[in-house]
């Protein structure tokens, strides 16, 4: 008996050892595996686990566009598209219930919804698009959840909204991400507007709940990412004033279109850029392409008498004339078979010897062309190129034209003469505004722009400057222009509190097909103030007014006066003179 017990004990001990070895081996394997997973591959596996809990934040808002004072001009709203999937809801019960829930909120008839929901052969049914977020989140979703309805899909999306309506529409432009269409600063500022800040990835548990830690900001992780804000140089009050005054004159004269540009000569910042006809960027696709485009950048025109400023500036700078120059104005002249005369030849057939002040006061074509011919053609061409004629200004808006100026080697006498009074070339309103702004800025041309640079590096890259005139030439010419405004019987440029340096312009409108001119005209006025320290330049161009006595002084001039008076008040520009009432009778150029 004792022997049998010993045999069994030995046998038990043997199996016990085997089992223990097996268990120990398993333990070693498990420990080794844990060591491998947690120590050797721990970092990599932890990263994979984190990535598996992360969700891509594919829903983001485009950055807001603000004016110089922080007023929102463009931003994004959240909308929903609602879809139904028949294979997931109960055909007998849910259709009537779903229709009852959706009908009042979407303002759709219950019967029409039931008909849509009953298309069981369709995998996806479009119920409604562009539904406001509060309707979906506060009304529809709670009822759907309460009734445990399946088969409805709410697709979140963003929609660009322009809260100020038509204001600055040609500056803002529009954006259609789906069709890859854009215009205005929505296009040129796209990189900044779409650049979202880098953020720590958000992790979710198996039920889709956010996993928070000590560094998690609840507000940030539950709201859409936003692109960078874009701050414009535009002042909404000045913009509104410009648009209002421009529209009033165009309505009064039944003109085709118009533009008013307000900029700061010292730094090229555009404070207002009104273009008529305007449009609502919220509904841009309902407007004709000719209305949506910014014609003041894309279309060219003969600048007419406003260009006489550039002619005299070029002649003074090259030494072709002096500020005390006197020119024989014969009233009319014939050059290479072309008869050229002053606009008022019938009233003043032979003005005789005139000085530069009288040249501007009476807008002498003969005096201007004679000055032009005094400048050697190559020097004249180089000066015009320095002023930016025949090249893009580089404004941060799309669609700008370079204008037209032929090389000096192709000029004949009549071409050179006609350039003197604003023909034989084609410019854009922004080109003339920028060129005259160089005179106001002591002879320094600066890139006009509507987007404020965010850094010094960006400013150096985008905003260029170049010396066009000496400071003395710019000063002499400014005083000549101011004196001519004061000596004129016209009211253009005469505003309370400030002296204005400026010039009217009226030019024939070229035929769109073939040579020659149509019956239409361009009327314009460009001026800057205060004369002692120019703070603002305003350029007004109105295309084809259809009233009698339509000139730059009677159409564009009054628009300048009204805008300038209001701009002086808005910017609180220091008065240069005492208020006086101008009771002079307007006189045509």
Tell me the domain boundaries of the chain. Answer: 2-40, 77-163, 236-570
Residue 193 has pLDDT above 70, yes or no: yes
Residue 589: pLDDT band (50, 70, 90) is very low
**Whole-angstrom Cα distance, residue 151 to residue 106?**
18
Residue 251: C-alpha distances to residues 295, 468, 546, 566 (Å): 18, 38, 10, 20
Asked if the model's pLDDT at residue 499 lies above 80, the reply is: yes
Give the per-residue pLDDT at 209: 58
pLDDT of amino acid 140: 87
Q: Cβ(114)–Cβ(101) under 8 Å?
A: no
Backbone angles phi, psi at 511, to 5 degrees: -65, 140
Query: Does the pLDDT at position 423 exceed 80?
Result: yes
> For 392-409, how does the pLDDT look when each residue is reduced to its tens digit (9 = 90+)?
999 999 999 999 999 999
Helix axes 557-570, 236-253, angle to 10 degrees: 160
CB 186 within 8 A of CB 193: yes
Predicted pLDDT of residue 470: 98
pLDDT of residue 218: 56
pLDDT of residue 303: 97
353 against 146, higher pLDDT:
353
pLDDT at 50 over 80: no
Instruction: Give the per-residue pLDDT at 206.
Output: 53
Residue 279 backbone phi and psi in degrees, to 5: -150, 165
Torsion of CA 59, 65, 71, 77, to 10 degrees: -30
CATH topology identical between 77-163 and 236-570: no
| Contact yes or no for 117/111 (Cβ under 8 A) | no
> Number of C-alpha atoms within 13 angstroms, CB side, residue 394?
14
**Three-state secondary-structure class, residue 234:** coil
| Rounded Cα gap, residues 342 and 327, in angstroms | 14
Map 491-542 to HEC letters: CCCCECCECCEEEEEEEEEECCCCCCEEEEEEEEEEEEECCCCCCEEEEEEE
DSSP type of residue 198: P
324-344 pLDDT tens trace = 999 999 999 999 999 999 999
Asked whether the predicted pLDDT for residue 582 surpasses 50, the reply is no
pLDDT class for 114, splitting at 50, 70, 90? confident
> Sorting pLDDT into bands at 50, 70 and 90, what band is 253?
very high
Summarised one tens digit per residue, pLDDT across range 464-488 is: 999 999 999 999 999 999 999 999 9
pLDDT value at position 33?
A: 73
Q: Helix 471-487 crosses helix 429-440 at what angle (to 10 degrees)?
A: 110
- Structure pTM? 0.83
* Burial of 193 per CB tally in 10 Å (0-12, 13-18, 19+): buried
Report the distance separating Cα 403 and Cα 374, nearest Å: 24
How confident is the model at residue 424, as a pLDDT? Answer: 94
Lowest mean pLDDT among 138-142, 376-380, 506-510: 138-142
Average pLDDT along the chain:
88
Closest alpha carbon to 552 in 351, 262, 314, 253 = 253
Of the candidate ranges 10-19, 143-152, 369-378, the one whose mean pLDDT is the lowest: 10-19
CB 165 within 8 A of CB 284: no
pLDDT at residue 213 above 80?
Answer: no
In this prediction, residues 551-555 reach a mean pLDDT of: 95
Quick check: 306 pLDDT over 90?
A: yes
Percent of the chain with pLDDT strictly greater than 90: 62
Average pLDDT over residues 298-316: 97
Q: Which pLDDT value is given to residue 357?
A: 97
What is the Cα–Cα distance from 557 to 561, expressed in whole angstroms?
6
pLDDT at 315: 98
- The mean per-residue pLDDT over the stretch 167-192 comes to 90
Separation of alpha carbons 58 and 365, rounded Å: 63
- pLDDT recorded at residue 204: 55
Q: Which helix (H) or strand (E) holds 32?
A: helix 2-35
The answer to which of 100-109, 385-394, 398-407, 572-581 has the lowest mean pLDDT is 572-581
Return the CATH fold of 77-163: Alpha-Beta Plaits (3.30.70)
Q: What is the pLDDT of residue 54?
A: 47
Q: Which residues make Cβ contacts (< 8 Å) with residue 504, sequence separation at least 6? A: 305, 306, 363, 490, 492, 523, 524, 525, 551, 552, 553, 556, 557, 589
Q: Which of 387, 451, 395 is nearest to 425 (CA)?
A: 387
CATH superfamily, domain 236-570, is DD-peptidase/beta-lactamase superfamily (3.40.710.10)
- Please report the pLDDT score of residue 166 as a whole number: 97
End-to-end CA distance of the chain: 142
């Amino acid at each position: 008996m004792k022997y049998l017990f010993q045999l069994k004990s030995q046998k038990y001990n043997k199996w016990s050892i085997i089992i223990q070895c097996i268990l120990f081996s398993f333990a070693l394997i498990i420990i080794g595996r844990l060591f491998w997973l947690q120590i050797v591959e721990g970092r990599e596996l932890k990263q994979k686990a984190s990535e598996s809990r992360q969700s891509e934040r594919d829903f983001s808002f485009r950055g807001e566009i603000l004016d110089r004072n922080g007023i929102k001009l463009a931003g994004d709203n959240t909308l929903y598209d609602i879809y139904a999937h028949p294979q997931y809801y109960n055909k007998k019960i849910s259709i009537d219930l779903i229709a009852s829930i959706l009908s009042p909120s979407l303002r759709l008839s219950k019967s029409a919804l039931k008909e849509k929901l009953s298309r069981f052969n369709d995998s996806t049914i479009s119920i409604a698009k562009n539904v406001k977020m509060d309707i979906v989140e506060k009304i529809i979703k709670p009822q759907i959840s309460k009734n445990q309805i399946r088969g409805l899909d709410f697709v979140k999306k963003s929609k660009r909204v322009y809260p100020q309506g038509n204001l600055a529409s040609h500056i803002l432009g529009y954006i259609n991400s789906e069709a890859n269409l854009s215009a205005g600063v929505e296009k040129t500022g796209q990189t900044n507007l779409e650049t979202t800040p880098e953020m720590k990835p958000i992790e979710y548990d198996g039920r889709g709940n956010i996993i928070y830690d000590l560094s998690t900001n609840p507000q940030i992780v539950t709201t859409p990412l936003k692109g960078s804000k874009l701050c414009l140089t535009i002042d909404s009050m000045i913009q509104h004033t410009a648009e209002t005054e421009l529209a009033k004159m165009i309505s009064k004269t039944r003109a085709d279109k118009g533009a008013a540009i307000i900029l700061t000569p010292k730094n090229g910042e555009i404070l207002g850029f009104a273009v008529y006809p305007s449009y609502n960027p919220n509904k841009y696709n309902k407007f004709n392409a000719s209305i949506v485009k910014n014609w003041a950048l894309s279309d060219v025109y003969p600048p007419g008498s406003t260009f006489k400023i550039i002619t005299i500036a070029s002649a003074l700078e090259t030494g072709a004339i002096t500020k005390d120059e006197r020119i024989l104005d014969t009233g009319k002249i014939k050059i290479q078979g072309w008869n050229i005369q002053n606009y008022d030849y019938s009233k003043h057939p032979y003005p005789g010897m005139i000085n530069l002040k009288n040249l501007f006061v009476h807008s002498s074509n003969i005096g201007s062309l004679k000055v032009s011919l005094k400048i050697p053609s190559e020097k004249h061409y180089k000066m015009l190129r320095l002023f930016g004629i025949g090249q893009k200004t580089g404004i941060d808006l799309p669609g700008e034209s370079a204008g037209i100026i032929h090389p000096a080697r192709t000029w004949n006498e009549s071409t050179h003469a006609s350039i003197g009074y604003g023909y034989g070339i084609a410019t854009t309103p922004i080109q003339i505004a920028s060129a005259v702004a160089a005179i106001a800025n002591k002879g320094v041309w600066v890139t006009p722009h509507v987007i404020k640079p965010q850094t010094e590096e960006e400013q150096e890259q985008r905003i260029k400057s170049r010396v066009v005139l000496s400071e003395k030439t710019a000063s002499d010419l400014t005083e000549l222009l101011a004196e001519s405004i004061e000596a004129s019987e016209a009211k253009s440029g005469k505003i309370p509190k400030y002296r204005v340096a400026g010039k009217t312009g009226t030019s024939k409108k070229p035929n769109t097909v073939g040579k020659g001119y149509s019956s239409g005209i361009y009327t314009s006025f460009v001026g800057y103030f205060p004369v002692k320290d120019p703070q603002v330049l305003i350029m007004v161009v109105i295309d084809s007014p259809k009233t009698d006595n339509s000139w730059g002084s009677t159409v564009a001039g009054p628009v300048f006066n009204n805008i300038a008076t209001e701009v002086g008040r808005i910017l609180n520009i220091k008065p240069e003179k005492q208020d006086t009432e101008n009771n002079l009778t307007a006189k045509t150029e």
